Amino acid sequence: MTQSASIRPVRARAAFPTAAAIILGVGLGVFFDGIVLHQLLQWHHLVSNWSPAATVEGMEFNTYWDGMLHSFAYVCVGVGLFSLWRASRRAGGMWSGRRLAGALLIGWGGFNLYDGVINHLVLGIHHVNERVDRAQWPIYDAGFIIWGAAMLLAGVLLLRGARRETAPQEA
């Protein structure tokens, strides 16, 4: 005997998987950094301030670590997509695009802040644009950190706005 659609139990609407989307945002941020800044613009490599890419050996070393960075990005994108897919199978309704955009921006902006503050300023393993005069490096690093903070803030604001939209209304 089959149940009609009208008497089937309604599944509870699954919460949006914010953590999964943040992880996906980290992966997208890493890919942008690696593809655009490392490969297309060739401004720096992951460890180019520690081991300059001026020789074949230096370029091989930097290319290896760029590959490790891209491998990390693949893991983040894979985990984020898989987690979103699993959660979508349990979801009982449509998710907010604002939540997705907000969480992606939090992940991407968070990566930029980590990279800018830790890798550029604290560890000094690379700087955003090492092809310009060394005196200009801090300007590019500051711009990168500000860009990351702006994305992170925009993501937080989008998530807050989406939560207010979906909060139960008082009668």
pLDDT tens digits, residue range 20-41?
999 999 999 999 999 999 999 9
Decide: 111 and 37 in contact? Cβ < 8 Å.
Answer: no
Burial class, 156, CB count within 10 angstroms (exposed 0-12 / middle 13-18 / buried 19+): middle
Decide: 17 and 85 in contact? Cβ < 8 Å.
Answer: no
Instruction: Read off the pLDDT band of 171 (50, 70, 90).
Output: very low
pTM of the model: 0.81
**pLDDT number for residue 2:** 53
**pLDDT number for residue 53:** 83
pLDDT tens digits, residue range 151-169?
999 999 999 988 776 655 4
Average pLDDT on 50-79 reads 93
**pLDDT number for residue 43:** 95
pLDDT tens digits, residue range 110-141?
999 999 999 999 999 999 999 999 999 999 99
More confidently predicted of 153 and 52:
153
Please give the DSSP secondary-structure letter assigned to residue 163.
H
Instruction: Read off the pLDDT band of 85 (50, 70, 90).
Output: confident
